[in-house]
């Protein structure tokens, strides 16, 4: 398989601090709803999230977790891997509709001003067109985040993990306001460049963690949560 249906190794894994920070957060802080965007086959952030929940005082009781994965091949693996987890619901769809994806002009401007990905605009635009084609060809042009909000009957989540397409991190963040905590992967490239820097400036949130390997990752939570569970 190639493209979005290629099975890839997780970048947040047991060799990264991020993998353990996610679990530590969930062991300390009670949560009721979790949304993960970009689950892949479930071996990275998904595994960390589920392990954290299972090792928390609640053991998953009263918790609802949704994971979005647009790739049909990766979703198949994800669904099979966690079919025994009662609080876990996978969704094979797009997190946001195509009209919320970054445009080619926005990508060109971003690349020009930041020089991420070595400034290789041609290659990055190729990725964008590939993502758009996959969503279109598979009939996934919908707002998956809103669908999960409706299914869970919530407006915001206890924990949001944003690690989907390179071109949807900012619109996904905009669709997920007022979450208690955010884990962002790829904060030094297009994906979560804006969400990471927005949260850094938000006086209502505290940055608990940042790891600058690969594209970088970070974990933010509301100030009152940080004071209650992480002040000692």
- What are the tens digits of pLDDT across the range 73-132? 999 999 999 999 999 999 999 999 999 999 999 999 999 999 899 889 999 999 999 999
- CB contact at 8 A, 111 and 126: no
Tokens (6 digits) for 42: 């479930």
What's the pLDDT band for 147 if we cut at 50, 70, 90?
A: very high
Higher pLDDT, 42 or 200: 200
Rounded to two decimals, the pTM is 0.95
Q: pLDDT at position 122, please?
A: 95
Beta bridge partners of 66: 35, 89
Stretch 186-213: mean pLDDT, rounded? Answer: 96
Instruction: Quote the domain boundaries for residue 70.
Output: 3-229
CB–CB of 169/192 below 8 Å?
A: yes
Residue 232 pLDDT level (bands cut at 50, 70, 90)? low
Among the ranges given (104-118, 162-176, 193-207), the one the predictor scored with the smallest mean pLDDT:
104-118
Q: What is the pLDDT of residue 4?
A: 81
* 163-172 burial code (b ≥16 CB/10 A, e <16): bbbbbbbbbb
Number of domains in the chain: 1
pLDDT at residue 146 tops 70: yes
Residue 183 three-state SS: strand
CATH number at residue 26: 3.40.50.150
Q: Write phi, then psi, for 92 (nearest 5 degrees).
A: -100, 90
Q: Is the pLDDT of residue 1 over 60?
A: no
């Amino acid at each position: 398989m190639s493209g979005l249906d290629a099975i890839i190794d997780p970048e947040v894994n047991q060799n990264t601090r991020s993998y353990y920070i996610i679990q530590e957060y969930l062991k300390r802080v009670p949560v009721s709803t979790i949304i993960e965007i970009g689950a892949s086959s479930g071996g990275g952030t998904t595994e960390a999230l589920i392990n954290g929940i299972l090792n928390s005082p609640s053991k998953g009781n009263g918790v609802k977790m949704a994971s979005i994965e647009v790739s049909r091949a990766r979703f198949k693996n994800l669904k099979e891997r966690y079919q025994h987890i009662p609080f876990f619901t996978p969704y094979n769809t797009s997190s946001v509709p195509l009209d919320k994806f970054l445009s080619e002009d926005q990508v060109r401007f971003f690349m020009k001003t930041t020089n991420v990905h070595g400034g290789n605009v041609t290659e990055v635009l190729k990725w964008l067109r590939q993502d758009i084609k996959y969503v279109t060809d598979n009939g996934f042009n919908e707002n998956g985040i809103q669908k999960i909000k409706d299914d869970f009957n919530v407006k915001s989540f206890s924990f949001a993990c944003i690690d989907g397409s390179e071109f949807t991190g900012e619109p996904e963040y905009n669709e997920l306001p007022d979450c208690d905590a955010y884990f962002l992967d790829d904060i030094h490239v297009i994906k979560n460049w804006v969400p990471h820097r927005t949260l850094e400036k938000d006086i209502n949130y505290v940055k608990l963690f940042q790891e600058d390997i690969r594209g970088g990752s970070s974990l933010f939570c509301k100030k009152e949560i940080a004071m209650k569970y992480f002040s000692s």
